[in-house]
Structure 1
Amino acid sequence: MIAMRKLRISFLIGAVCAVVTVAGCSIDNSTLDEPGTAHIAPVVVGAGSSDESAVLAQVYATVLRSTGADVSVRPDFGDRAEYLRALDAGDITVVPEFTGELLAYFDSDAQATAAADVFEELSRSLPQGLSVSDYASAEDRSVMVIGQGDPRDMHELGDLAPHCATSTVAVGSEFEDTALASIPGCTFGVVHHVADDPAVVEELRTGVASVGGLTTLSPVLATGDLEALSDDEGIFRAQNVVPLYRSGTLAEPQLEALTVVAGELTSADLSDMLGQVRDGKSSVEVARTWFDAHA
């Protein structure tokens, strides 16, 4: 994506220079300069109120600092609307996001579910002045789970069909419940919305529910008490980690630094970092350790 951006910019510059031959052609654009040849503007990374957003903000801040930029983190934005206003006002430069959630925010009618398709539709739906860089494989996609040792022979979403009508599914607050209707041949007897992910586990443990709805970064999945059903058909929308930034505010070295996250950050990495932070480690320290191992 960066290569395509450079090609488009180079083409436009060449076209302008070809036409304006009398006056000459002088371009002052820091995004075209090589590292160290232009002033690098300060960068402010915003973060939402979730643990995921806080950790990812520190990850992006760490990779951006590696370019020599003056980077700070502004945490605890209440919700997406709040930090989008801050982006629009220029109070922050970049913020971590998830592709599917952001697409739904800007285009509620979007139908894409596969990672590449979601990213393509997201790129088209962004308002003027906002851009996204490449997405990482790390994601927080919705996932359906059953208890380990469940006597039903179920390993993927398609296996649910014979059992749906007599099943109660307990879903957490972050689960994409609107996609339940897209599971082939499946209409659940009861869909029970619970307060949080531990409540999903409790309903499975006590037999109130026989299927649960969580997301892939839920800490309760780390206990080993649950089996996730594979979603090979892409019923649930991709939710890959992606940086959302103000167009024209990041220089080329900074855009290239963001690709470190896109190329290296996995769901396992992010889950591990979240676990460390929840156990009391500093998100700054955790992000730096990850960067040192992947830079």
Structure 2
Amino acid sequence: MFVSSSPVGRFRFPAAVALTAGVLLSVSACGSIDPLASGGSSDAPSDTIVVGSAGFAESEIIAEIYAQALEAQGVTVSKQLNIGQRDVYLAALQDGSIDLIPEYSGNLLQYYAADSTARSSDEVFDALSSALPDGFRVLERAAAEDKDSYNVTAEFAEKHTLNTLSDLANLDETFVVAGNPELAERPYGPRGLTDVYGVKANLMTFSPINDSGGPLTVSALIDGTVQVADIFSTTPAIAENKFVTLADPKNLILPQNVLPLINSDSASDLVVKTLNNVSAQLTTEDLIDLNARNQGDEKAAPAALAQDWLTEKGLLSS
């Protein structure tokens, strides 16, 4: 997705990060109003659900879906969107500045339990539910996923018979892997390709491109500057350019199901039922379509996309 941040929020910091002046400055740098400028709890009434989002478009779209679905059921909603990366919005959830935010199961688990051995979607969800701090709760996960994925051009895949990450171990020539700078140190980065799939480290070079699998990464893959690129799986450019996403049968990259993360005190029966109904219908294909409409020629706004999706799914009627 062609944004400055990513679904992972993919930097890990202690969960109880205080909202220091430096953190507040990082929020302001997101280019939106500073939702935490009041320095703590939200100004919303106590019976209002404050819905937040991370600092990228897909998170904002899902947050709008959550907010509008709740409003359709008579829940009073306030929105604090485009907050920033995970350390910032989890601190906001901790101090009550927001009550609810879309999250991604695998990376949220790694934030709280970096050494977890969970690998399947069910294992990750169960481990996450246990790893969350007191006062936090995750609701039902959607089938929809947005995760890191390793991609090659169709020509490169055909030339080297590449279908899975295991096939990269058969390469006998040097090749370049591109991704956000932090990928170099991630367990699912180049080191993971070697440790889990036996990819030859001496043939693999890492090229940092800081656009979260966006246009610079896509261009580098197309023109052959890099041969393998980490691109988030719901990015429309994958299909548009007929890239081949290499399968990950050993779950080097954890499942990343979309799910609501909520303050337990805000999880009334009505809120839980409404958000679970959203998750029951949200698919990966939906995310790809929503992102394409947002990033493509239409440039549809997140609020409009949310309304269209909820109407299509029949979730706007009381």
Say yes or no: TM over 0.5: yes
Q: Match for 2:165 among 151, 154, 157? A: 157
Residues 60-209 of structure 1: pairs in structure 2 closer than 5 A: 60-150=66-156, 151-163=159-171, 166-172=174-180, 176-177=188-189, 179-188=192-201, 189=203, 190-196=205-211, 197=213, 198-209=215-226
User: Hey, what's the Cα distance between the residues in 2 that align with 1:115 and 1:234?
Assistant: 10
Aligned-residue offset at 1:137: 1.3
User: Hey, what's the Cα distance between the residues in 2 that align with 1:133 and 1:55?
Assistant: 18
Query: Residue deviations 1:23-70, cap 9 Å, x none?
Result: xxxxxxxxxxxxxxxxx9221101121112111110111221222111
Which amino acid in 1 is paired with 2:307? Answer: R
Query: Residue deviations 1:85-138, cap 9 Å, x none?
Result: 222222211111111121111122223232111111111110000000011111
Aligned-residue offset at 1:204: 2.4
Rg larger in 1 or in 2?
A: 1
Query: Residue deviations 1:149-171, cap 9 Å, x none?
Result: 22111111222211166322222
The alignment-based identity, stated in percent, is: 29
Count of matched residue positions in the alignment of Structure 1 and Structure 2: 256
Taking only aligned residues, the RMSD between alpha carbons, in angstroms, comes to 2.0
Structure 1 residues 227, 86: closer, same or farther in 2, change over 3 A? same
Which amino acid in 2 is paired with 1:46? Answer: G
1:56 paired with 2:62, answer yes
Q: Match for 2:241 among 204, 224, 243? A: 224
What is the DSSP-based 3-state SS (H/G/I as helix, E as strand, rest coil) of the residue aligned with 1:76? coil
What is the DSSP-based 3-state SS (H/G/I as helix, E as strand, rest coil) of the residue aligned with 2:265? coil
Aligned-residue offset at 1:74: 1.0
User: Hey, what's the Cα distance between the residues in 1 that align with 2:172 and 2:131?
Assistant: 35
Structure 1 length-normalised TM? 0.80
Structure 1 residues 171, 88: closer, same or farther in 2, change over 3 A? closer
Which amino acid in 1 is paired with 2:238? Answer: L
Structure 2 length-normalised TM? 0.75
Partner of 2:254: 237
Structure 1 residues 277, 208: closer, same or farther in 2, change over 3 A? closer
Q: Match for 1:275 among 292, 304, 308? A: 292
Which amino acid in 2 is paired with 1:224? Answer: N
Partner of 2:306: 287
Aligned-residue offset at 1:173: 5.2
